[in-house]
Amino acid sequence: MSQDPSQKFRPLDGVRVLDLTVTPPGGYCTVQLADMGAEVVRLEPPAQAGKPSLVANQVGLSRGKRSITLDPRSKRYNEVLRRLVATCDVLVENAKPGQMSSRGFGYPEAAKEFPALIWCSISGFGQDGPNAQYAGHDISYLGHAGYLGAVGTELPWHPGAMLSVPVGAMMAVTGILGAMVERAKTGKGCQIDVSLADASTWLLAGSASALKGDGTGGIAATPERRLYECADGRYVVVAAAEPRTWAALCEGLGMADIAGEGRPRGAAGEAAQARLAAAFATRPAREWVEKLAPLGAAVTIVNRGVDVVEDPHNMARGVFVSIDGETVPANPLRFHDAAGRESFTAAASPPKVGQDTEAVLGAAGFSADEIANLRAEGVI
């Protein structure tokens, strides 16, 4: 697929984002902005110069960005940062709440000098509240948010992949885009306070029972909503939640005798589940999907690992791109316009730390002598 920028939909073309983040929430956020055409410039420590610019060692969070060096311990850090901010539309950071202001240049200080700046702060528990200074990681925020208890009612269980982090990052992207629309009308920027815990709680907006009593009254596993193991050891997901999908499932499995009885419960439900389990165990998962999905039975395969990459639907959709020999998710947004432009994926390899320092500082108005002095002083 061609990545010619002139043929790609880049709604954020011309937008410059200064990325001060060092953890995955920032990586998820700014890679999405890069996929929409923004120029993302990461600030990184001079001690890392020449190494690959990777967020948590993940190519998928680091592609399509630029990198400059700037030592946050330097007395000249704020001076250089101010001049960079003057050239940017958006700043994204994930420092502890209040930390940047304590060093002399947080949002309150920036807003006085650069009222049009959009400043996005991503943190675990938000900029205020009793937990604001607490440490945590993805599972911490899911637990606090009520999400762990809502999804797995039998505690303890431990998710094997991050959820609050990418959800919070997408909230950050949404906030940034909303702030840009507001700025286009008023000329004023703002601070966006993104809490990973708040974002995780928001996931329960469609699950009212998760916020009542002990939170265990969520969606139950039933014969028509369950994973079934197939002959090859793989699983299918059955989600035949409506009369029509239940009927299609039963008829496709040769169980027309229970298709019209509605979704069974109690003893009838246990009997139906046993019959479905026995039927699915007779064929490989892919065969069942190919047989039942076209009938409208709401059956999909459970993909894991390389199965996700090699899934025929994902391959047809271009869900992945290869960067430096590593397969990573592509831009999930599918833009199309009347001119024939389509979605863009920022597929450039992650830069080397500091490779764009001279170019970015030069564009910000630093002279060659100033840049040389900053380098000699160890500032960059």
Q: Which helix (H) or strand (E) holds 288?
A: helix 285-292
* Interval 31-57: pLDDT, tens: 999 999 999 999 999 999 999 999 999
CB atoms near residue 343 (< 10 Å): 18
Domain 5-207+332-376 adopts which CATH fold? Rossmann fold (3.40.50)
Band of residue 4 on the pLDDT scale cut at 50, 70, 90: low
pLDDT the model gives residue 371: 98
CB atoms near residue 140 (< 10 Å): 19
Stretch(es) of the chain classified as CATH 3.40.50.10540: 5-207+332-376
241, 233 contact by CB (below 8 A): no
* Interval 200-225: pLDDT, tens: 999 999 988 888 888 877 788 899 99
Residue 192: pLDDT above 90?
Answer: yes
* Interval 240-257: pLDDT, tens: 999 999 999 999 999 999
pLDDT the model gives residue 1: 41
The more confident residue out of 342 and 301 is 301
Alpha helices in 57-154 (DSSP H): 77-85, 99-102, 107-113, 138-145, 147-151
Domain at 225-310: CATH architecture: 2-Layer Sandwich (3.30)
CA–CA distance, 329 with 332 (Å, rounded to integer): 8
The alpha carbon of 82 is separated from its chain's Cα centroid by a whole number of angstroms, namely 29
102, 108 contact by CB (below 8 A): no
pLDDT the model gives residue 154: 83
The model carries a pTM of: 0.94
CA–CA distance, 60 with 37 (Å, rounded to integer): 16
